[in-house]
Structure 1
Amino acid sequence: MRLYAIGDVHGRLDLLTAMHERIAAELERDRPADWRIVHLGDYVDRGPDSKGVIDFLIAAQQRDPRMIALAGNHDIGFLDFLAMPDAEGLFARYGGRETALSYGVAIDFSDPASVEQGWKDLVRAVSPEQRRFLHELPYSASFGDFFFCHAGVRPGIALERQAHDDLIWIRTAFHNHPGLYEKIIVHGHTPQPEAELMPNRVNVDTGAWQTGILTALVVDGVEKRVLTATG
């Protein structure tokens, strides 16, 4: 089984489309016996077309169940805002304005009246299908020797017992752990200039929304390589 793990998209539909085109060309050329494409979360916020990214992933999964989308902290933050408008929450402070704009809703998070009205407009603008997609995002996936999640895992805790908050939020304890885990952890969440390939983990978040570089890890038997899409 060939595995593709795509890092944080953050509203960059152009880069996600380009990455899928590259992957589709490889699959057509090489005809692997089986494959999975794992998206590592953070589809919304900061970039210009969060709505488009969600619609793209919904359509991709409807075409082929081998398209897997995991939850990121920003995706859960979007759901939290839809449930209750918080002008100090993750969505408001870290790119939610751009997400709302992709739905045609302008919100000034410094103005309580704008937050209240913008929240009502956004709740109406997000379709039941999009909301269901976000609610149903799994927090991890595992294939062979690789464990996929958005942020990382808590050292000393079995992979099947990891807390959801750690899977989408953890940084320092995970990054600084020198030992091996049960499997190699493939994650995003913490942007780096280029993919980090460590003995115990692989980070494919290259800050696509800002750098214009979306990165994926490709695992094909003993071959491991990095694939990028730029814009």
Structure 2
Amino acid sequence: MLRRLFNRTPKAAPAAPAPVPAGLPAGSVVWAIGDVHGRLDLLDRLLSAITDSDAGRDGRSPVLVFLGDYIDRGSNSRGVIDRLATLADDPAFETHFLKGNHEDKMLEFLEDSSVGAAWCDYGGAQALESFGLKVPVLKHRPEGWVSLSSDLGHRLSARQRAFLESLEYSVAIGGYFFAHAGARPGVPLDEQSNHDLMWVRGSFLNNETRFERVVVHGHTPTDDPYIDHRRIGIDTRAYESGVLTAVRLEGLDHRFLQAVQQADGDIVVRPWSATAPA
């Protein structure tokens, strides 16, 4: 009996899931849009170009995936929320709106005023201004933040609040996985924590191991879009650079489109490629 036990061939460890080819089913088109950060002007121009390109063409409904961080830092967080809430009802598109760490903090502030100072230090002050509110003069006084949290809750319309509370953490389409910040290496994509999907950075960016799908994300700004065998990053710091980036995915192909504010203030929409002149 003991001999049979010790001579038994050990079971093989479960095989890791094979990577899904980075592509989409035939006929599918997905646009992913990077971190808007209150730049309604750039968002409107980019959406207009996307609509001209794909809406209603060949009887199909393109999928729009917004990668989060709609608010803070830029001047019109309120307008961006309104625009996206309206887009959610547009039958020309299937839409997915992901939650970024900035929306996470805004919603937390509505429930816990003690996080107000930290939120405002990285962009919340500009979001508050778009709702006609200002940071307390005496930042160390908790009663000022309590009042401000209550005021913001009253300034948010029911539709705006519902939009913010309905945001998704991730979505998988074909060979792609969309999340605001990325994903933690070593954890299957369908087991990622909500916190990592909104906040992860170094461990995701600095690891070469590929996930089951190619991860499309924002959160970490770069001067240009980034793409390699495991991820596509499209946060191009719109609030500061004046460049909002989207990536169009179809079949095995991808291409980038940007709304760019020029030196004279005009906004143009142009394709981007690694070989194109700046």
Normalising to structure 1: TM-score of the pair? Answer: 0.94
The answer to whether the 8 Å contact 2:34/2:67 transfers is yes
- Report the Cα offset of residue 109 of structure 1: 6.2
Q: Secondary structure at the match of 1:104?
A: coil
Percent identity between matched residues is 37
Structure 1 pair 108/61, CA: closer, same or farther in 2 (3 Å)?
A: same
Q: Distance in 1 between matches of 2:117 and 2:200?
A: 18
Q: Which residue of 2 aligns with 1:98?
A: 126
Range with greater deviation from structure 2 (64-73 or 46-55): 64-73
Structure 1 pair 204/110, CA: closer, same or farther in 2 (3 Å)?
A: farther
2:102 to 53, 71, 74: 74
2:124 paired with 1:124: no
Q: Give 1:27-38 correspondences, 5 Å limit.
A: 27-28=54-55, 31=58, 33-38=60-65
The answer to whether the 8 Å contact 1:92/1:109 transfers is no
Q: Which residue of 2 aligns with 1:15?
A: 42
The answer to whether the 8 Å contact 2:108/2:115 transfers is no
Structure 1 pair 155/87, CA: closer, same or farther in 2 (3 Å)?
A: closer
Q: Which residue of 2 aligns with 1:43?
A: 70
Q: Distance in 1 between matches of 2:174 and 2:86?
A: 27
Give the counterpart letter for 1:18 in structure 2. R
Give the counterpart letter for 1:54 in structure 2. I
- Report the Cα offset of residue 88 of structure 1: 5.7
Q: Secondary structure at the match of 1:62?
A: coil
Q: Secondary structure at the match of 1:119?
A: helix
Structure 1 pair 109/151, CA: closer, same or farther in 2 (3 Å)?
A: farther
Structure 1 pair 109/159, CA: closer, same or farther in 2 (3 Å)?
A: farther
Instruction: Tell me how many residue pairs correspond in the alignment.
Output: 231
- Report the Cα offset of residue 119 of structure 1: 2.3
- In structure 1, runs of 5+ residues without a counterpart are none
Q: Which residue of 2 aligns with 1:26?
A: 53
Range with greater deviation from structure 2 (104-113 or 20-29): 104-113
- Report the Cα offset of residue 130 of structure 1: 1.2
Q: Distance in 2 between matches of 1:31 and 1:89?
A: 50
Q: Which residue of 2 aligns with 1:203?
A: 233
Normalising to structure 2: TM-score of the pair? Answer: 0.79
After superposition, the CA RMSD in angstroms is 1.7
2:210 to 155, 180, 187: 180
Q: Which residue of 2 aligns with 1:194?
A: 224
- In structure 2, runs of 5+ residues without a counterpart are 1-27, 262-278
- Report the Cα offset of residue 33 of structure 1: 3.3
Range with greater deviation from structure 2 (38-47 or 119-128): 119-128
Structure 1 pair 130/46, CA: closer, same or farther in 2 (3 Å)?
A: same
Structure 1 pair 208/158, CA: closer, same or farther in 2 (3 Å)?
A: same
Give the counterpart letter for 2:90 in structure 1. R
Q: Which residue of 1 aligns with 2:32?
A: 5
Q: Distance in 1 between matches of 2:188 and 2:29?
A: 25
- Report the Cα offset of residue 110 of structure 1: 4.5
Q: Distance in 2 between matches of 1:109 and 1:213?
A: 33
Q: Secondary structure at the match of 1:94?
A: helix
Q: Which residue of 2 aligns with 1:160?
A: 190
The answer to whether the 8 Å contact 1:74/1:90 transfers is no
The answer to whether the 8 Å contact 1:155/1:174 transfers is yes
The answer to whether the 8 Å contact 2:65/2:95 transfers is yes
Q: Distance in 1 between matches of 2:245 and 2:108?
A: 28
